[in-house]
Structure 1
């Protein structure tokens, strides 16, 4: 058991994602005393009671493993906090979980996970964070406390340029090809069929409308895009160009909310689409530089929990 230190030495960082949750207990120097990943804490997906139970279990395990009791800051960065109603619900879940724990927490922060990550990245500087993973969103700050957002409204009405959006575009292409609505052939059909181990359009339809359907499954289809592009598939190239353009539109919209954009402004990039599809990343940067020639880009390579920990540590200063 770690010996106790004086107050304000320790922080808790919690990355509450849609599919998993990571809790990390660190001191002000960044030393990690406990870190564990568990199940989802998204109340919209699993319900309020299960979300609270998941948070409580992680907090309990952290205390049992370290014996540390006094926590200066606990930063809960949770996916799905997109409205005032969502903020209130998650705030109540987190506060109830903390009350049940044996920790004495001086300050609790509950906010959208992308906003937390942005603060962890930029600190007191102006900057933006663009994410294209299963979904897509963009946040920007002027470095003076103002934070703006664009996108992130979910697959039913948005998520343009995301893995889900790309996957849906690929599937639409396959159906259009099989129907005879495309004049040119596309290798996307063969790549999708190979990935899903099917050989008929009806099997693809059955897969899409299966009872255990998830957005992540559709997003996974996007991984065939790079190979199709390498084979010179015109439709795949069009999808990549359109994805990059959608991400640029989203980025431009959020940057215009915090104008002016000065030289040295950094746009941080994260998410599987931008990390794993070099063509989309290249096109995105080229399109952005046409509008903002003085900005720079930084592809995030740390674990998400590290950015949340930085956000908590910055609040100590």
Structure 2
């Protein structure tokens, strides 16, 4: 019995998978980013959600032999060690890995092999893993000091450009009309409570990114914002490849930015002609299950490469 977790700042998925029967269950829950909700809440959500998933296939926490929790906000070894220690109490028979949430889509997109992932959602990060387990990372520093080219970054620049255009202190852009229509506003000051009094202001700003990207083909200002974002994506990917030069030039694209905006992929391909970009087709949490299997066989060379990917994929697709 294996548990994979794809935990983010707004939502979390837990996938329980039993190899003997090929039975699986996926349960969704709220945020598990410990820097936002705290260690106790994050651990509690993980354990309760795992119990729900296990219960659906008639298993318990004691049956779990491998667990990989890929969590947003896990960036340092001491953070990982702390969560491993806390989860070990609830899963006493499991080998446990706690790592950054980018590792789930990376492993899902490469079927557990070496590769690079570029995650573009509310935030951005590029992560690579070599065949011998060396991990390299670029970006992922959050909306205050990083996340260049992210949904938040694109959305914020788009909203700012719209306001500046309305107030005649910036280039003219049709983005203001888009803001008006999207938020049903008559003037920019009406946008203040819409954003600042929302349940999640960061997500509210990031939600405008899709509108900016959609306008890029017909609006010069929007096009400039998107070009800037793509250049940031290129910088992130190249930074990882400088650290892992022997990894194949094939990048998995994960996150809402790339699922809903095909032109971002096209622009990346135009700027990095020596690199293949593929949209993640599987649920990221399936990668976490593969990692859960790997962690139980980390001292047995090659074992993790033979994980039952087809069975995992089939089980996840049916849920």
Structure 2: gaps (5+ residues): 298-302, 304-319
1:151–1:223 CA distance, 2 compared to 1 (3 A): same
Residue number in structure 2 paired with 1:312? 292
User: C-alpha displacement at 1:205, in angstroms?
Assistant: 2.9
Residue number in structure 2 paired with 1:7? none
Instruction: Give TM-score, length-normalised by structure 1.
Output: 0.85
1:39–1:242 CA distance, 2 compared to 1 (3 A): same
1:25–1:125 CA distance, 2 compared to 1 (3 A): closer
| 3-state SS of paired residue (2:82) | helix
Separation in 2, partners of 1:197, 1:126: 47
Residue number in structure 2 paired with 1:222? 209
Q: Does the CA contact (< 8 Å) of 1:240 and 1:279 recur in 2?
A: no
| 3-state SS of paired residue (1:155) | helix
The partner residue of 2:11 within 20, 26, 29 is 20
Residue number in structure 2 paired with 1:3? none
Alignment of 1:297 with 2:288, yes or no, is no
Alignment of 1:155 with 2:146, yes or no, is no
Residue number in structure 1 paired with 2:223? 237
User: C-alpha displacement at 1:124, in angstroms?
Assistant: 6.5
| 3-state SS of paired residue (2:291) | helix
1:246–1:39 CA distance, 2 compared to 1 (3 A): same
User: C-alpha displacement at 1:120, in angstroms?
Assistant: 4.2
Q: Does the CA contact (< 8 Å) of 1:75 and 1:311 recur in 2?
A: yes
Q: Does the CA contact (< 8 Å) of 2:108 and 2:285 recur in 1?
A: no
- Deviating runs (4+, > 3 A) in structure 1? 62-67, 119-126, 313-316
Alignment of 1:42 with 2:33, yes or no, is yes
1:114–1:287 CA distance, 2 compared to 1 (3 A): same
Residue number in structure 1 paired with 2:234? 248
The partner residue of 1:281 within 260, 265, 272 is 265
The partner residue of 2:49 within 51, 54, 58 is 58
Q: Number of aligned residue pairs: give it.
A: 295
1:60–1:195 CA distance, 2 compared to 1 (3 A): same
Alignment of 1:179 with 2:151, yes or no, is no
Separation in 1, partners of 2:24, 2:70: 19
Residue number in structure 1 paired with 2:2? 11
For residues 230-268 of structure 1, what are the alpha-carbon distances to aligned partners after superposition, in whole Å with 9 as ceiling and x for unaligned? 4x111011111111111001111111111145xx53111
Mean CA deviation greater in 122-131 or 139-148: 122-131
Which of the pair has the greater relative contact order for Cα pairs under 8 Å at 6+ separation?
2
Residue number in structure 2 paired with 1:76? 69
For residues 174-193 of structure 1, what are the alpha-carbon distances to aligned partners after superposition, in whole Å with 9 as ceiling and x for unaligned? 1221221224x211001012
Q: Does the CA contact (< 8 Å) of 2:104 and 2:284 recur in 1?
A: no
Separation in 2, partners of 1:124, 1:32: 20
For residues 154-191 of structure 1, what are the alpha-carbon distances to aligned partners after superposition, in whole Å with 9 as ceiling and x for unaligned? 000110111000001101101221221224x2110010
Separation in 2, partners of 1:61, 1:87: 24
